[in-house]
Amino acid sequence: MANVSSKYDITARTLRYYEDMGLLYSTRSDDYAYRMYDKNAVRRLEQILILRKLNISIKLTL
């Protein structure tokens, strides 16, 4: 996937926060320093961002 944080205009810290909450999952390989998000994770991120724009708590809905 392309650089997810720049594509969706969010910070890497925000992505890590969603991972810490258990809402997103990423993979990392030993030879690549960046986190990788599959199609399902990107779809999930899109859902999270829509909920945030609607001011709906993601803790209660996901």
| pLDDT tens track for 1-31 | 458 999 999 999 999 999 999 999 998 877 7
According to DSSP, residue 25 is labeled -
* Cβ neighbours for 7, distance < 8 A, ≥ 6 positions apart: none
Q: In this model, does residue 56 exceed pLDDT 50?
A: yes
pLDDT at 1: 46
* Cβ neighbours for 43, distance < 8 A, ≥ 6 positions apart: none
The pTM (predicted TM-score) of the whole model is: 0.80
29-33, 38-42, 48-52: which range is least confident on average?
29-33
